[in-house]
Structure 1
Amino acid sequence: MATKNQVLDMTPVGMKFTVLQAGSDTGGKSLDLHWELLPKCNMKGPLVHTHPHAIETYEVLEGEMEFFLKDKWLPASKGDKLTVPKGVTHAFRNPTEKIVTVYNTHQPALRMENYFEDVCKVLDKLTDNRTKDFKMNLKSILYMSVLMNNYRNEIIAKNPPDAAIKLLGFISKLVGINTYFM
């Protein structure tokens, strides 16, 4: 369970989130985060996804970035705000050489903070400690599939397709990758 001011460090994939208000701080009404998106974050293939039971908002505090909404990329810069309704396909990326900061909310909070904490655990487990490199390979895909299947109420992948995530999650459990997040 995340706590106020906790840093969720996903640097290997180009992001760092600071919890401004955890779900427990808002009675579950929202999870409020401050994001730092490192240069070129998500440029190799962002997770295009939906939140079936939550509204997500973004406010660009500093820098320029892009949002994928429904079926196209939209530019955004300092001061721009975006609200993504429940079930709408979206993603984000930082195509620039500068850090972008964003105020982000998930309403209601559901278990998104647990999802982000588990993403950090997977990255810690799969990132090379010497080089700090994270590579998307079969092992990381299997772990991420288990994670995505554990949080279907909060987030559902659209690209890669959800059917592939379900199948890979099933295969992961067959090979013993099923208790890491329990």
Structure 2
Amino acid sequence: MATKGQILDMTPVGMKFTVLQASADTLGKSLELHWELLPGCNMHDPLVHIHPDAIETYEILEGEMEFYIHDKWVPARQGDQLTVPKGVTHCFRNPTAKIVRVLNTHQPALHMENYFEDVCKVLDKVTDNRRKDFQMNLRTMLYMSVLMNKYRAEIIAKNPPDMAIKTLGWIAKRLGITY
């Protein structure tokens, strides 16, 4: 379980999150994060997804980025605020050469902080403790599929397709892949 002030370092995929308010701080009502998105974050194969039972909000504190919402890319810059309702397909990217800083919330928190902590664990496995470049390959897809299947109440992939995630997760479990 994440704690206030904890840093979730996902640098191999271009992100670093700081927990501002953990689920325990809000009695599960929300998870509040400060994001730093590195230049080029999510420019290749961003995880298009939904949150079936949570609302996600973003406030751009510094920089410019783009959000994929309702099947189109939408630019956002400092001062912009976006709300993604439950079940709406979305993702984000930083196509600029500068770091973007974002305030992000998930309401309710559900187990999103555990999901983000487990993303860090998967990155440790597939990047040799985050010391080598992240590569999307079959091994990485198997680990990510195990992760995504564990957190289906929090996040469901739309691209890659959910059926592919389910199938790869099943194969990974049979191969004994865990993180």
Q: 1:145 offset after TM fit, Å?
A: 0.1
Return the alpha-carbon distance in structure 2 between the equivalents of residues 129 and 102 of structure 1. 26
Tell me which residue corresponds to 1:8. Answer: 8
Return the alpha-carbon distance in structure 2 between the equivalents of residues 81 and 120 of structure 1. 27
Amino acid at match of 1:84: V
Q: 1:131 offset after TM fit, Å?
A: 5.3
Paired residues of 1:127 and 1:134 also in contact (CA < 8 A): yes
Tell me which residue corresponds to 1:98. Answer: 98
Return the alpha-carbon distance in structure 2 between the equivalents of residues 170 and 148 of structure 1. 11
Return the alpha-carbon distance in structure 2 between the equivalents of residues 102 and 111 of structure 1. 20
Counterpart secondary structure, 2:40 = coil
Gaps of 5+ in 1: none
Tell me which residue corresponds to 1:138. Answer: 138
Return the alpha-carbon distance in structure 1 between the equivalents of residues 60 and 48 of structure 2. 19
Percent identity, please.
78
Return the alpha-carbon distance in structure 2 between the equivalents of residues 80 and 167 of structure 1. 38
Structure 2 residue 153 is the aligned partner of structure 1 residue 153: yes
Deviations for 1:26-47, whole angstroms, at most 9, x for unmatched residues? 0000000000000000001110
Aligned 1:35-74 pairs, distance under 5 A: 35-74=35-74
Tell me which residue corresponds to 2:82. Answer: 82
Q: 1:125 offset after TM fit, Å?
A: 1.3
Counterpart secondary structure, 1:32 = strand
Amino acid at match of 2:117: E
Counterpart secondary structure, 2:74 = strand
Counterpart secondary structure, 2:52 = coil
Return the alpha-carbon distance in structure 1 between the equivalents of residues 130 and 22 of structure 2. 32
Q: 1:169 offset after TM fit, Å?
A: 0.4
Return the alpha-carbon distance in structure 2 between the equivalents of residues 129 and 110 of structure 1. 27
Q: 1:61 offset after TM fit, Å?
A: 0.2
Q: 1:130 offset after TM fit, Å?
A: 8.7
Aligned residue-pair number: 179
TM-score (norm 1): 0.96
Counterpart secondary structure, 1:46 = coil
Paired residues of 2:30 and 2:105 also in contact (CA < 8 A): yes
Q: 1:131 to 1:23 in 2, by over 3 A?
A: closer
Tell me which residue corresponds to 2:23. Answer: 23
Q: CA RMSD in A?
A: 1.1
Q: 1:137 to 1:18 in 2, by over 3 A?
A: same
Return the alpha-carbon distance in structure 2 between the equivalents of residues 86 and 147 of structure 1. 21
- Greater mean alpha carbon deviation, residues 23-32 or residues 127-136: 127-136
Paired residues of 1:128 and 1:134 also in contact (CA < 8 A): no
TM-score (norm 2): 0.98
Amino acid at match of 1:132: K
Amino acid at match of 2:75: P
